[in-house]
A and B are shown apart, each in its own frame.
Chain A
Amino acid sequence: MPRGIHVFAMRKSNPSFLNGVPELMVLQLLARREMYGYEIVKGIQTASKEAFAFGEGSIYPVLHELEAGKLVKSRRAEVQGRSRLYYALTASGRKRLQLLANQWEQVALGIAQVLGGANA
């Protein structure tokens, strides 16, 4: 199992202020192009340089929750003989992404200030 920060709720060590991080990462990746689950996991691992550790199956509850909230939509497509469920961002998803990204920037700024203050 890879080492890293456990951001998915499957891990009991998930700190509460990391809530919303899986959604943020998934929405950010889907803002670039539509993807299927495996691609999203690979995208998160590549973009974060494997900083996050999670059971890969736990991406699907996040995707399904986002889909139920109409933040993403899915369509089935046949690619290289395999039927895949592709996820794409909706207009509400784009708004939610903006909101989460702003919130996360504030959290990151706050943490940086605390750490900066502690190190000063």
Chain B
Amino acid sequence: MHKECSVPSEVRKRLQRAGLGRAYAIRAAHELHDHWRDMVDEGMRAGMTQCEAETEATARLGSAELLAKEFASRMQRSSWLGRNPTFGFAMLALTLTIVWWFALGSLAANACGLFGGSIGAEDVTWRLGLFNRCLDGVRAGGYVVVPWLCCHVAHRFYCGWRPALWACLVIAIHNGMHVLRVSTSGQHGNISWGYSFNFAAMPALLALCAPLAVFALYQAWNRRAPSERTESAGVAC
């Protein structure tokens, strides 16, 4: 019966702390654990006692700190986003924000009948009012969905937590300065989109905090320990 080695589980914890995906961290720990078991078997076949074989195998596996750094740096280098995190994630955050507003804004405008042919003067006011409320929904959804997507991309491409936090900060700054106004003039509606900062009035706290809260929740969820089933399968020790 094998004793367990602490290196794989330490590597898993360090990778999760570095912001690499939980599934990936578990997989890496699993492979290191299997390798360790193979080395112990090899040592015992060579005539070592189990204790000696385990000590030797742990030394041969390498230090958890260096292994975790090696995993993280190699995986970060494996994608363009990982190699260019500052530019890449700023662009990703802004692109996702634009796509989010454009896609859902168009959908909302269509649903409110604003793309229809002739709209009566009395219709314009309530349709634009409805459209305004839809945009509030799009805005609120964007506070959560866009940062979540950025965190997901950072995990998917093994970029770590720092680029994800940077993207969420970009989104928070965008949310704080972004202005979208819908107004009516006669039979026409106007939509104005822009950025401004009013020093007299602070931007809405929710707009600034929501992306950072999503980031914190995503990281906390990712750092949870493996389930008992996974542990009993020898994934972690």
Q: Are B75 and A60 in contact (CB under 8 A)?
A: no
CB <8 Å contact, B67 and A61? yes
One digit per residue, 1 when the CB lies within 8 angstroms of any chain B CB and 0 when it does not, for chain A 2-16 equals 000000111000000
Whether the pair B31, A60 counts as a contact (CB closer than 8 A) is yes
CB B79 to nearest CB in A, in angstroms, measures 7
Task: Render B156-168 as a binary contact track against A, CB cut-off 8 A, 1 for contact.
Answer: 0010000000000
**What distance in Å separates the Cβ of A4 from its nearest Cβ neighbour in chain B?**
13
Check B66 against A65 for contact (C-beta < 8 Å): no
Number of interface residues of B (CB under 8 A): 26
Q: Known contacts A64-B74, A64-B75, A65-B75; is A38 also within 8 Å of B35 by CB?
A: yes
Chain A neighbourhood of B70, CB < 8 A? 8-10, 58, 61
Residue in A1, A9, A10, A56 whose CB lies within 8 Å of B35: A56
B28, B38, B59 pick with most chain A CB within 10 angstroms:
B38
Is chain B's interface secondary structure helix, strand, loop, or mixed overall? helix
Residues of B within 8 A of A36 (CB): 34
Is A68 engaged at the interface, CB distance under 8 Å to the other chain? Answer: yes
Can you name the residue of chain B whose Cβ is closest to the Cβ of A54?
B62
B32 at the interface (CB under 8 A from A): yes
Q: Does B224 contact A (CB under 8 A)?
A: no
Contact of A68 among B60, B67, B79 (CB under 8 A): B79
Pick the most buried of B67, B70, B75: most chain A CB atoms within 10 A of its CB: B70
Q: Is there contact, CB below 8 Å, between A60 and B78?
A: no
Complex alpha-carbon distance, A59 and B62, angstroms: 11
Q: CB of B7 within 8 A of chain A?
A: yes
A55 with B158: CB separation less than 8 A: no
What 4 pairs across the A-B complex have the smallest Cβ distances?
A55-B62, A68-B78, A65-B74, A38-B38
Binding site for B on A (CB under 8 A): 1, 8-10, 36-38, 41, 54-62, 64-65, 68-69, 82-85
